[in-house]
A and B are shown apart, each in its own frame.
Chain A
Amino acid sequence: MSARMRASVKTPIRARSVVGRLAIVAFVAAAVAFWALPMLWLVTAPFDAHPGLDVSWPDWTLDNFRKLSENPYAFSSLKNSVYLAVGTMVGVTAMAALAAYSLSRVRIPGRNTILYGLLLLSSIVTGTAAMVPIFQLMFALNLIDDRSGVILVLTGGLLPAAIFILKDFMDATPKSYEESARVFGATPLQVLRHVVLPIVRPGLATIAVWALVNVWSDFLTSYILLRDPTKLPAGVVMYTFYSEGGQANLPLISAFSLVYALPVVALYLFVNRRYGFRFHGGIKS
Chain B
Amino acid sequence: MASIHIDGLTKVYPGDVTAIDGLDLTIEDGSFFALLGPSGCGKTTLLRTIAGLEEATGGSIRIGDRDVTTLSPGERNVAMVFQDYALFPHMSVTDNIAYPLRIKKVGRAERAAKAAETGEGLGLSALMDRRPGELSGGQQQRVALARAMACQPDVFLLDEPLSNLDARLRLEARTFLKRLQRDLDVTTVFVTHDQSEALAMADHIAVMEAGRIRQLGTPSEIFRRPANTFVANFIGSTPMNMLPGELRGGKLRVGDREPVDAVDAGWAARDARDGAVTVAFRPEYARVDEAGSLAFEGEVETSENLGASVLVTARTHDDHRVQAVVPEGSEPEPGTAVRITPVPGRVLVYDEDGELLAS
Assembled-state Cα–Cα distance A198/B91 (Å): 9
Contacts A176-B84, A177-B86, A177-B88 given: A183-B103 contact, CB under 8 Å? no
Residues B90 and A198 in contact, CB atoms below 8 Å apart: yes
The proximity string for A residues 145-186 relative to B, scoring 1 for CB distances below 8 Å and 0 otherwise, is 000000000000000000000000000001011011111111
Assembled-state Cα–Cα distance A184/B51 (Å): 10
A-side contacts of B73, CB under 8 Å = 179, 182-183, 185
Contact of A179 among B86, B89, B103, B104 (CB under 8 A): B86
A-side contacts of B51, CB under 8 Å = 183
A259 within 8 A of B: no
Residues B53 and A184 in contact, CB atoms below 8 Å apart: no
* Interface footprint category on A: 10 to 19
Residues B82 and A180 in contact, CB atoms below 8 Å apart: yes
B61 within 8 A of A: no
Measured CB to CB, the closest approach of chain A to B115, in angstroms, equals: 13
Contact of A183 among B79, B84, B88 (CB under 8 A): B79
B78 within 8 A of A: yes
Measured CB to CB, the closest approach of chain A to B111, in angstroms, equals: 13
A-side contacts of B72, CB under 8 Å = 182, 185
Chain A interface mostly helix, strand, loop or mixed? Answer: helix
Assembled-state Cα–Cα distance A67/B203 (Å): 87
* Interface footprint category on B: 20 to 34
Residues A186 and B74 in contact, CB atoms below 8 Å apart: yes
Assembled-state Cα–Cα distance A179/B151 (Å): 16
A-side contacts of B104, CB under 8 Å = 185
B52 within 8 A of A: yes
Residues B52 and A183 in contact, CB atoms below 8 Å apart: yes
Residues A190 and B103 in contact, CB atoms below 8 Å apart: yes
Measured CB to CB, the closest approach of chain A to B258, in angstroms, equals: 59
Q: Please report which residues of chain B, range 304-352, place their CB below 8 angstroms from some CB of chain A when the two chains form the complex.
A: none
Question: Which of A174, A179, A184, A187: most chain B Cβ within 10 A?
Answer: A184
- Name 29 A/B residue pairs within 8 A (Cβ), A-sorted: A174-B84, A176-B82, A176-B84, A177-B86, A177-B88, A179-B73, A179-B80, A179-B82, A180-B80, A180-B86, A181-B88, A182-B73, A183-B51, A183-B52, A183-B74, A183-B79, A183-B80, A184-B74, A184-B79, A184-B99, A184-B151, A185-B73, A185-B74, A185-B75, A186-B103, A194-B88, A194-B102, A198-B90, A199-B89
List residues of B whose CB falls within 8 A of some A CB.
51-53, 72-75, 78-80, 82-84, 86, 88-90, 99-100, 102-104, 151
